[in-house]
Amino acid sequence: MYFYLTALVAIASTTMVIFNRNAVHALLYLVVSLLAVAVIFYQFGAPFAAALEVIVYAGAIMVLIVFVIMMLNQGDKAVAQESQWLRPGIWWGPGLLSAILLLQLVFMLRGGQTADSTALHYVGPKEVGIALFSRYILAVELASMLLLAGLVGAFHLARQKRREESGVQDAD
């Protein structure tokens, strides 16, 4: 029962993310959607994943995205442009593709090819840690390499810019 309520919130807010014309409002709906997903995680016995969902996605990544959108200073002009882009004719392609996915999902659910979601089992922080550093150690290492590459890349780009503006002192 609680699950359906939370899922409804998640779906409704995600729909609003797609159809909202104001970028910041859309992002706020995305935050709500992420929070709803975190609640679902918690309900299904994964409190660690729920906490990380809120801390990392809703609390850090979305703040940074809002940060960037804020600086773009989009006003009514951007909203008008967005409503032009969301003309009904444009929905056909993505709508059709998503409909195929939805059909697949419905068939799969009808065929019963899903795990039994009523059989909850609790996954605490300790279990997550043990799994990450034993079975999934390769994935963890790969992710850390990817992040390091991203970090070095960002650092390089930021440095390059400062060298060009060498007239400006202490421009960070």
Partner 1 sequence: MNTSPWAALLNIFGVLLVAVLLAALLTWGERRLLGFWQDRPGPNRVGPFGTLQVVADMIKLFFKEDFVPRFADIPVFVLAPTVVMAAMLLGFAVIPVSPAIGVIDLNVGLLFFLAMSSMAVYSVVLGGYASNNKYALLGGLRAAAQTVSYEVFMGLSLMGVVMMSGSFNLREIVQAQENTWFVLPQFIGFLVFFIAGIAESHRLPFDLPEAEHELTAGFHTEYSGMKFGMFFVGEYLSVILISALITTLFLGGWLGPWLPPVVWFLLKTSVLIALFILLRAALPRPRYDQLMHFGWKFMLPLSLANLLITAGVLLWIQ
Q: What is the binding site for partner 1 (CB under 8 A)?
A: 22, 24-25, 28, 31, 47-48, 50-52, 54-55, 58-60, 63-64, 66-67, 70-71, 124-125, 170, 172
Q: Which two tokens stand for residue 2?
A: 């609680």
Query: Which is nearer to partner 1, 55 or 106 (by Cβ)?
Result: 55
At its nearest, how many Å lie between partner 1 and the CB of residue 119? 20
- DSSP label at residue 143: H
What DSSP assignment string belongs to 40-94? HHHHTT-HHHHHHIIIIIIIIIHHHHHHHHHHHT--HHHHHHHHHHT-GGGGHHH
In whole angstroms, how close is the CB of 23 to partner 1 at the nearest point?
11
Q: Burial-class residue 39 by CB neighbours within 10 Å (0-12, 13-18, 19+).
A: buried
Alpha carbon distance 117, 112 (integer Å)? 12
Measured from the CB atom, the residue of 10 and 31 that comes closer to partner 1 is: 31
* Smallest gap from residue 106 Cβ to partner 1 (A): 34
CB of 129 to partner 1, least distance (A): 11
Q: Which is nearer to partner 1, 64 or 115 (CB)?
A: 64
